[in-house]
Amino acid sequence: MAELLRSLQDSQLVARFQRRCGLFPAREDTGEKPIVKNYFYYYLFRFSAALGQEVFYITFLPFTHWNIDPYLSRRLVMIWVLVMYIGQVAKDILKWPRPSSPPVVKLEKRVVAEYGMPSTHAMAATAISFTLLISTMDRYQYPFALGLTMAVVFSTLVCLSRLYTGMHTVLDVLGGVLITAFLIALTYPAWTLIDSLDSASPLFPVCVIVVPFFLCYNYPVSDYYSPTRADTTTIVAAGAGVTLGFWINHFFQLVAQPTPTFPVIRSIPALTTDMLVLGLTKFMVGIVLIVLVRQLVQNLSLQVLFSWFKVVTRNKEARRRLEIEVPYKFVTYTSVGLCATTFVPMLHRFLGLL
């Protein structure tokens, strides 16, 4: 068993996969980009890697909420936040290095400072795809085999992309998938309870803000700076904002609640031109408002924190300090989550898009 684990952690295994897919390192001391001999795999896995990044979740999850089913978006966000927090914390506790380069070609530079085990891309992709499958199979009428195939293909492509980009070993990816499978199985009996959290005590919003902020502020200390803490705060804060938004919607009856939290079998309507135009319009209106709110809250929170701690404005290094990074990220993305679930639907209603 020990020998198997060592082989799965071997960087040479990743390098061989890259070579089979037509990705080769540049010549030494040339400063050139890696050599790509198969552009089909290059674009396939670069696109697949993007499916596990912020740009996908900041579009897919709001689109699901505004155009498909808020019931599903709530479950997806809650499970996504849970697995991502555990995965990010596990990285900084285990402190396993990423594949060595050489022999591996690394195509992503931003996260190269993070540790490797487990792959949070693999965790997020597995969590999103299979939570969506489990939550819809008794709620919508569609061939289960088709849904299962799509979930497997989606998660597999994201997992393979982490090998192709040189960001993870095979063991990192398998570890991420297995941890997520365990968390889904462990939490599944409580999913119905999660669905009813928006009708909890008036003190519930305090817990939604205080507990996640505490977890982010007391994030494990790393040996050197990496974007892990900032990314974790972004994810947890967005989840807190979404949960708070659902509670506000229920408590003040601002927008229509997600249709029953118990399974209701529905047929999936045929996609028409009118539905497509309406969905894209709602999406564009929502994204514009979210971007504006994000920029406004981020600028205001940074100005307040810089003034409070007497830091020079626009000091990039100061943004990395714990007492500045966590509060400004948390406030910004809590506002984003709240905006997506409460203010955007209200704007949709005002514009006659609902």
- pLDDT reported for residue 30: 56
> Where do runs of H (alpha helix) occur along 51-169?
54-63, 70-94, 120-136, 144-164
- In angstroms, rounded to a whole number, what is the distance separating the alpha carbons of residues 342 and 340? 6
User: Do residues 246 and 78 lie in contact, with contact meaning Cβ atoms separated by under 8 Å?
Assistant: no
pLDDT surpasses 60 at 90: yes
Helix axes 11-20, 144-164, angle to 10 degrees: 110
CB-based contacts of 56: which residues, under 8 Å, 6+ apart?
Answer: 50
Give dist(CA 255, CA 249) in Å, integer: 6
- CB contact burial 203-220 (16+ within 10 A = b; e otherwise): ebbeebbeebbeebeebe
What is this structure's pTM? 0.85
Q: 71 in helix, strand or coil?
A: helix
Q: 99-152, pLDDT tens digit by residue? A: 877 787 887 776 666 777 888 889 989 999 999 998 888 788 888 888 899 999
Tell which wins on pLDDT, 260 or 203.
203
DSSP state of 23: E
Point out the residues that are catalytic. Answer: 121, 168
How many other CB atoms are found less than 10 A from the CB of residue 326? Answer: 21
The predicted pLDDT at position 153 comes to: 92
How confident is the model over 154-212, as pLDDT tens digits?
Answer: 999 998 998 888 888 888 899 999 999 999 999 888 887 776 665 556 778 888 888 99
**Rounded distance between C-alpha atoms, residue 23 and residue 163, angstroms:** 11
Residue 32 is classified by DSSP as: P
Burial string for 13-38 (b: 16+ CB within 10 Å, else e) reads bbbebbeebebebeeeeeeeeeeeee
pLDDT tens digits along 202-239: 778 888 888 999 988 888 877 777 778 888 898 999 99
Q: Minimal CA–CA distance to 259: which of 130, 73, 91?
A: 73
Strand, helix or coil for residue 66: helix
Other CB atoms within 10 A of residue 311 CB: 17
Instruction: Please tell me the predicted confidence (pLDDT) of residue 139.
Output: 80
Model pLDDT, residue 59? 83
Convert the pLDDT of each residue in 13-71 to its tens digit: 878 888 888 878 876 655 567 877 888 888 888 888 887 777 777 788 888 888 888 88
pLDDT in tens, 276-322: 888 889 999 999 999 999 999 998 988 888 888 877 767 677 777 87
pLDDT for the residue 265: 61
> Angle at CA 226, nearest 5°, toward 126 and 96?
60
Closest CA to 74 of 340, 351, 343, 267: 340
- Eight-class DSSP state of 339: I
3-state secondary structure of 125: helix
Alpha carbon 302 to its chain's center: 24
Pairing of strands 140-141, 266-267: parallel
Query: Counting beta carbons within 10 angstroms of the beta carbon of residue 354, is it exposed (0 to 12), middle (13 to 18) or buried (19 or more)?
Result: middle
Structure confidence by residue, pLDDT tens digits, 266-282: 666 667 787 888 888 99
